Structure 1
């Protein structure tokens, strides 16, 4: 998947400025795709040049004018085309896994520090995702939301992000326990 497809998917909900997209990107697709604001702005320019989105300028007092982006018919067609393609299998690349793999010949204390950091970060991600989930459900049960919502894709991807981070947390806690037990026997 390209950043292009993630941006087009984020624009399915509504018109957004580059700033709004950069700020809201975390809330819409960060559980499966990461991008810096600079990458987003460059991609918006490319998408506009390719005719997949269009921009309108909104004049503002006391602030610079902003561009608001919406999908064009060609952009909606690109989203449709992307959803028809067979996705490539997931390839995991994680520096921490390489460090854990090398723990026996490396610095176990440093690896434990990395695992603790992963546990902290993952716990914060899960808390953030749960807040996003509550916002999306807006007091409805999951069953009711899935039956009535205009769009279920963001919720389904959020649920995948939650299960991914729950497994990351479980694994990191277990790996930390094993390494600390081995260190205590030295």
Structure 2
């Protein structure tokens, strides 16, 4: 998947400025696609040049002018083409896993600290995603929302992000315990 498809999908919910799009990515899209704000601005410019999004200038009196972007019919067609394409398998690329793999040879203490930091960050994301999901479904319970909600795509990706963060937190805590126990056992020998 290219960043372009994530941007197009995010713009399906309405018109956004580059700043608003970056905030949307931080909250809702970041659980499956990471992008820096400057990457988003550059991608918006490319998409507009290709006719997949259209922008319009909004004049503001007390603030700098801004551009709002929305998906064009050509952008929707590109998303439909992307959705119909056979997906590629996903893979993990994580520097912490390289450290864990070599922890028993390079020293476990810094790796344990990083695992605990990562678990704490995952806990923060779990709280944020839980709040976001509750906001999306409003007064409806989850099953009701999944059956009758107006737009469930962002909710479904939020559920995936929540499951990932919970598993990631639990794995990090367990690996920190395993490495800590091994460290203690080795010191006792």
TM-score normalized with structure 1 length: 0.97
- Paired residues for 1:106-145 under 5 Å: 106-145=106-145
Hey, what's the Cα distance between the residues in 2 that align with 1:151 and 1:78? Answer: 20
**2:30 corresponds to 1:55:** no
Distance 1:148 1:15 in 2: 24
Equivalent residue for 2:183? 183
Q: Provide runs of 4+ in structure 1 moved above 3 Å.
A: none
String of CA shifts for 1:32-84, please: whole Å, max 9, x gaps.
00101100000000000000000011100121111010111001111111110
SS at match of 1:16: coil
Distance in 2 between residues matched to 1:53 and 1:161, nearest whole Å: 27
- 2-structure distance, mates of 1:173, 1:63: 46
Deviations 1:82-139 (A, max 9, x none): 1101111011111111111101110210111111111111111111111111111112
Contact persistence 2:137–2:149 (CA under 8 A): no
The aligned runs of 1:1-186 (5 Å cut-off) are 1-185=1-185, 186=187
SS at match of 2:54: strand
Show structure 2 runs of 5+ residues with no match.
none
Distance in 1, Cα, partners of 2:27 & 2:80: 22
Unaligned runs of 5+ in 1: none
| TM-score in terms of structure 2 length | 0.96
Q: Secondary structure at the match of 2:140?
A: coil
Aligned residues: 186
Coordinate RMSD, CA, aligned: 0.9
Greater mean alpha carbon deviation, residues 65-74 or residues 141-150: 141-150
Cα deviation for residue 27 of structure 1 reads 2.2
Q: Could you tell me whether the CA contact under 8 Å between 2:18 and 2:41 is conserved in 1? A: yes
